């Protein structure tokens, strides 16, 4: 394992004395040619973690159904934009569904991808352009403007670098990365920017003594930018995380930052730099509040399983050809286990009639009863 990035970080820390965890995380994940997302495919069996996309193509097929529905309801242009497309599998699954099931929609569709990793762009093109030549356009984030359509991301915001703060002796301190006794360790000091305290004040969060909280300032910059870039459209964010009251419960003493290496979770933040994923739960309350300031209104927040069921994934289960295929799809929606526990879907909109009633307002109990009915039917038929 090449440790050149480890040496780079150590030298940087010695040069500066200390760096924020956000700067460390940004280097570990995104440094050109050396960061985790810049030099290898981190997804699926060969990577460090699985996503919903790896579980079943029905995830993408169901999102495609949802996007067609949202486009029709809000009379949007047939334009999708995915940010952080990863391996490209999600885009490919969505396009495959539309090409086969909604050919007229597919022919009129403009599909955009925003991806900062040149390595991943190459992998995405290799996969997508086999079946969909000239259908997808890759653009930098700065080029997106006056967007009309459906903008979405899946497990993007959790990979934004975060600052770590802690309450010590009644004061809010930031945890920096510093060399202590020859090793990289956390060290408390004054806040690196007043934005951190502003972030806490915005959600009225009172940190308890010795509690660590992870603050995603890039989340704020991202959603404020999106609110300006969307002229008429819907934005869907799917990620693991919670609204602020649940996310920042005092029992989460150590925050939510964690690492994944070869599908194993760990908290060895300063080991295997550039070879493991680093991630933190998403604060959906801040995503909503900062978006609203510029007209990006909340349309619905719900667990991923509930969003997928109301978007038609039960039809995918009924049509699945094998028990294994059915089980893979079920892993996306089972509230206990699978991808259904911590993952949430958040819809926001701008320039649309927000008074229109969406199908995503059905009570969870009603949806669970429908799921039980479908599963029972499948078991009986087996």
Query: What whole-number percentage of the chain has pLDDT above 70?
Result: 92
Residue 55: what pLDDT?
A: 65
Residue 47: what pLDDT?
A: 46
Instruction: Name the residue with higher pLDDT: 376 or 9.
Output: 9
Is 378's pLDDT higher than 80?
no
- How, if at all, do strands 258-261 and 277-279 pair? antiparallel
Residue 338: what pLDDT?
A: 52
Residue 49: what pLDDT?
A: 45
Within 107-243, strands assigned E span 110-114, 136-138, 147-154, 163-168, 171-180, 183-189, 212-215, 230-242
What mean pLDDT is reported for the chain?
Answer: 91
Is 246's pLDDT higher than 70?
yes
Residue 347: alpha-carbon gap to chain centroid: 13
Is 41's pLDDT higher than 80?
no
Residue 182: alpha-carbon gap to chain centroid: 35
Instruction: Name the residue with higher pLDDT: 111 or 335.
Output: 111
Question: pLDDT tens across 122-154, in order?
Answer: 999 999 999 999 999 999 999 999 999 999 999
Q: Is 284 exposed, middle or buried (0-12, 13-18, 19+ CB in 10 A)?
A: buried
Quote the DSSP letter at residue 90.
H
Residue 158: what pLDDT?
A: 96
Instruction: Name the residue with higher pLDDT: 131 or 3.
Output: 131
Contact between 156 and 240 (Cβ < 8 Å):
no
Query: What whole-number percentage of the chain has pLDDT above 90?
Result: 75
Residue 76: what pLDDT?
A: 98
Residue 79: what pLDDT?
A: 98
Average pLDDT over residues 32-60: 70
Is 298's pLDDT higher than 70?
yes
Parse the chain into domains and list their residue ranges.
Answer: 4-309+343-359
Residue 142: what pLDDT?
A: 97
Averaging pLDDT over each range in 26-35, 117-126, 137-146, which range is the top one?
137-146
Residue 318: what pLDDT?
A: 83
Of 52-56, 102-106, 116-120, 268-272, the poorest mean pLDDT is in 52-56
Average pLDDT over residues 304-333: 86
Residue 107: what pLDDT?
A: 98
Residue 48: what pLDDT?
A: 43
Q: Can you tell me whether residue 187 is helix, strand or coil? A: strand
Average pLDDT over residues 208-234: 97
- What predicted TM-score, i.e. pTM, was given to this entire model? 0.91
Instruction: Name the residue with higher pLDDT: 366 or 214.
Output: 214
Instruction: Name the residue with higher pLDDT: 301 or 357.
Output: 301
Whether domain 4-309+343-359 has CATH 3.40.50.12710: yes
């Amino acid at each position: 394992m090449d440790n050149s990035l480890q040496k780079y970080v150590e030298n940087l820390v010695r040069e500066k004395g200390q760096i924020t965890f956000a700067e460390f995380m940004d280097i570990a994940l995104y440094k050109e040619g050396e960061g985790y997302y810049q030099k290898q495919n981190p997804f699926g069996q060969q990577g460090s973690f699985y996503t919903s996309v790896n579980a079943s193509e029905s995830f993408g097929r169901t999102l495609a159904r949802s996007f067609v529905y949202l486009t029709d309801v809000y009379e949007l242009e047939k334009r999708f934009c995915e940010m952080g497309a990863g391996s490209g599998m999600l885009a490919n699954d969505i396009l495959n569904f539309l090409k086969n099931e909604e050919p007229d929609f597919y022919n009129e569709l403009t599909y955009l991808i925003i991806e900062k990793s040149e390595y991943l762009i190459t992998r995405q093109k290799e996969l997508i352009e086999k079946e969909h030549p000239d259908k997808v356009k890759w653009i930098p984030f700065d080029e997106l403007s006056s967007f009309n359509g459906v903008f979405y991301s899946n497990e993007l915001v959790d990979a934004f670098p975060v600052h770590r703060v802690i309450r010590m002796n009644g004061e809010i301190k930031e945890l920096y990365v510093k060399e202590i006794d020859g090793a990289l360790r956390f060290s408390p000091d004054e806040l690196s920017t007043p934005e951190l305290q502003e972030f806490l004040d915005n959600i009225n969060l009172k940190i308890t003594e010795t509690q660590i909280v992870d603050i995603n300032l890039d989340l704020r910059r991202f959603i404020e930018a999106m609110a300006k870039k969307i002229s008429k459209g819907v934005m869907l964010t799917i990620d693991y995380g919670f609204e602020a009251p649940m996310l920042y419960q005092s029992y989460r003493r150590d925050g939510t930052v964690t690492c994944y290496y070869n599908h194993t979770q760990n908290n060895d933040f300063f080991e295997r730099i550039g070879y493991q994923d680093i991630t933190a739960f998403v604060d959906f309350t801040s995503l909503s509040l900062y978006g609203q300031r510029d007209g990006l209104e909340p349309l619905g927040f719900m667990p991923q399983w509930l969003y997928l069921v109301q978007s038609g994934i039960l039809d995918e289960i009924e049509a699945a050809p094998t028990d294994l295929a059915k089980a893979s799809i079920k892993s996306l929606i089972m509230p206990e286990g699978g991808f259904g526990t911590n993952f949430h879907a958040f819809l926001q909109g701008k320039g649309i009639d927000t008074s229109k009633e969406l199908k995503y307002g059905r009570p969870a109990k009603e949806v669970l009863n429908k799921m039980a009915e479908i599963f029972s039917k499948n078991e009986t038929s087996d």
